[in-house]
Amino acid sequence: MFGALYAAAGSDSTQLTDVAREFSPRIDVCGPREITLDLSGLARLFGDAHAIAGELRRTAADRGLQVRVAIAGSRTAARLLVRHRAGLTIVEPGGDAAALAPLPLELLADIRRGISLDAPGSSVRETRSSVRAPGSSDPGDQDAEICASFRRWGLRTLGEVAALPSDEVAARLGQPGVQWQRLARGEDPAPLVPSVPEERFEQGLDLEWPIEGLEPLSFVLGRLLEPLSAHLERRDRGAAVLHVRLHLVSKTVHERSLELPAPMRDARTLRTLILLDLESHPPSAAIDRVVVAVDPTPARVLQYSLLTRPLPSPEQVSTLMARLNALMGEGRCGSPGLVDSWRPGVFDMRPFAPVDEGGEGGEGGEGKVVVVALRRFRFAVPARVQVEDGRPVRVTTDRRGLDGGRIEKCAGPWRTSGEWWKADAGTGETGRAGGTGRPEEPWDRDEWDVIVSDGATYRIFRERDANAWFIDGVLD
């Protein structure tokens, strides 16, 4: 047994939902003014269907709501009846088909499209001129076309649609037409999926005495995060964004938001992340109230491989990166990323997010790509290069570990230049080259890859404007 509530225009949807939840936890919010309820088992509390319907309407009236109430054997039948008839409508068990038979055909299109009773242009007959061609992907236009087809066949009521042979309807209108016919018979298209009330994952605590420093705050955060973590675990949720609001004695609020790389709910990890962030962004005064809230998201599902070593957990990575950022400063830790620029050595700092690529290529080496890695020096090493006929023939340097020697083979030069148009702009240290720590100054260089007599392969370059040679890195 199912019931449907339909409120008058201008009613508060929140109050309507509260009225429905007072009677049944299994409700489906179909719209701002329409709710269906599973009334199974309420007869022991309120009596028969007439008593339940009367109690529903009286409870809504006490809240200042004017509602229609319909009770039938299916949710679809209750929704159709509550939209067509005012007041109370009770259908005896097994009488759904007879009660729906005289209802107009347009009611089906209204509940499929979620149109209110008093919405302008709610009738499908007013939109028949805008029907698209067959095969349209718009569900609203498809419903309008099906309704128009039924009317061309001379059908006006749900009973006439329900009486058609199902195979003939499927042959002419396809599965959408069959779905319409099932609704006309009062059949539910799917089981009831209860609407879950919106939950607030938030914990707050008013302090008896203001506190200063991170050590006393750590105990307060632990007291707040333990029940918050348990709440997330009960709902199988994880924290996607962590919000911290510190109410200060200066009547200001110090707010911080942390975006987490993966859903997590471990209380100790969340507390560590908050403390590390506040270490870099401390409040300006003593704290007298602490509020912690999270934006929930479905918890992650872990599936480890039997062939590869698992990656560190997101909790471990997040804690490590937070400690490094607190030590080195924000924006100085992460993973290097490519930048659309020809400047040598330019890169961009991105959040560190390791990807598990295990298992590709197998143990036999199939599918593995041999690449050449350039181990670039953080600062280019000055070198002395002897040139004959425009090609380097010998390279030496005072840097320990780089022996240098006679050049056996060389490839180049590859000439690159850029930012020359900013030579007179005086940018100085204002611009940074994609995280390299170098100003955006003009460059003009010739690069060579050379193999020296000791077997090492270097990448060297010559600064053309200064006629100076450097070793950029070692090729492996």
42 and 129 in one domain? Answer: yes
Q: Is residue 15 part of a domain?
A: yes
74 and 153 assigned to the same domain: yes
Residue 67 lies in a domain: yes
Considering only residues 354 and 125, tell me which one the structure prediction assigns the higher pLDDT: 354
Both 144 and 61 in a single domain? yes
Query: Which pLDDT score, from 0 to 100, does residue 371 have?
Result: 67
State yes or no: pLDDT of 123 exceeds 70: no
Residues 209 and 175 in one domain: no
Nearby residues of 229 by Cβ (< 8 Å), 6 or more positions away:
265, 266, 267, 270
Please tell me whether residues 50 and 126 are part of one structural domain.
Answer: yes
How far is 393 from 451, CA to CA, in rounded Å?
10
Alpha-carbon dihedral sign for residues 84, 88, 93, 98: negative
Domain check: are 6 and 39 in the same one? Answer: yes
| Mode of pairing for the β-strands spanning 374-388 and 88-90 | unpaired
pLDDT of residue 432: 37
pLDDT band at 124 (very low <50, low <70, confident <90, very high): very low
Residue 198 is classified by DSSP as P
- Mean pLDDT highest for which of 17-21, 123-127, 423-427? 17-21
Q: How confident is the model at residue 293 (pLDDT cuts 50, 70, 90)?
A: very high
Do 148 and 134 meet the contact criterion of CB atoms below 8 Å apart?
no
Least confident of 36-40, 239-243, 355-359: 355-359
The reply to whether 354 falls in a domain is no
Do 428 and 284 share a domain, yes or no? no
Q: Answer yes or no: is 345 within a domain.
A: no
**377: buried, middle or exposed (CB in 10 Å: 19+, 13-18, 0-12)?**
middle
Out of 184, 215, 240, a domain closes at 184
Question: Does residue 178 share a domain with residue 62?
Answer: yes
Write down which residue in 184, 218, 247 finishes a domain: 184
Is 326 part of any domain?
Answer: no
Q: What is the mean pLDDT of residues 162-174?
A: 89
For the sheet containing 237-248, what is the strand order? 202-211, 287-298, 237-248, 253-264
pLDDT tens-digit profile of 325-344?
Answer: 777 777 778 788 877 777 77
CA atoms within 13 A of residue 357's CA, in its CB half-sphere:
6
State the pLDDT at residue 126. Answer: 36
Q: 340 lies in a domain? A: no
Least confident segment among 121-130, 187-196, 245-254, 302-311:
121-130
For 54-78, write each residue's pLDDT tens digit. Answer: 888 888 888 888 888 888 888 888 8
- Residue 115's CATH number: 3.30.70.270
Total number of residues shown for the chain? 476
Phi, psi dihedrals of residue 30, rounded to the nearest 5°: -85, -20
HSE on the CB side for 332, CA within 13 Å? 9
DSSP output for 407-449: EEEEEEEEEEEE-GGGTTT--TTSSBSTTSS-B---EEEEEEE
Residues contacting residue 63 through CB under 8 Å, at least 6 positions apart: 15, 18, 19
Residue percentage of the chain with pLDDT more than 90: 10
User: CA 20, 22, 24, 27: dihedral to nearest 10 degrees?
Assistant: 30
Confidence at 436, pLDDT banded by 50, 70, 90 = very low
Which domain, by its residues, includes 45? 2-184
> Is 151 inside a domain boundary?
yes
Q: What is the domain count for the chain?
A: 3
Whether 451 is covered by a domain: the verdict is yes
Kindly state whether residues 13 and 133 are assigned to the same domain: yes
Label residue 416 exposed, middle or buried (CB < 10 Å: 0-12, 13-18, 19+).
Answer: middle
Q: 396 and 449 share a domain?
A: yes
Query: Do 218 and 167 fall into the same domain?
Result: no
The pLDDT value given to residue 407: 87
The last residue of one of the domains, among 243, 265, 298, is 298
Contacts of residue 287, defined as CB under 8 A and 6 or more positions apart, other chains included, come to: 207, 210, 211, 212, 217, 246, 247, 248, 249, 254
CATH of the domain at 261: 3.30.1490.100
> What pTM, to 2 d.p., does this model score?
0.49
227/144 same-domain check: no
Looking at residue 222, its amino acid is G
Residues 199, 400: Cα–Cα separation, whole Å? 63
Residue 179: strand, helix, or coil: helix
